[in-house]
Amino acid sequence: MPDLVRAIVAEHRTTRGALLPILHDIQDRFGFIDPDVVPILAHELNMSRADVHGVITFYTDFHDEPAGTATVRVCRGEACQSVGADKLVADAEQVFGVKTGQTTPDRSVTLRQVFCLGNCALGPAAQINGRLYGRVDRGRLIEVLANEGDS
Quick one: which of 22, 47, 21, 52 has its CA closest to 35? 52
**Using CA atoms, how far apart are residues 27 and 25, in angstroms rounded to an integer?**
5
16-41: per-residue pLDDT in tens?
A: 999 999 999 999 999 899 999 999 99
Q: Please identify every stretch of the chain with a pLDDT value under 50, giving residue numbers as ranges.
A: none
pLDDT of residue 149: 59
Q: Domain limits of the chain? A: 2-58, 70-150
- Rounded to two decimals, the pTM is 0.79
The SS3 call for residue 70 is strand
Q: Residue 60: what pLDDT?
A: 80
Q: What is the C-alpha to C-alpha distance for residues 58 and 42, in angstroms, rounded to an integer?
A: 16
- CATH class given for the domain over 70-150: alpha beta
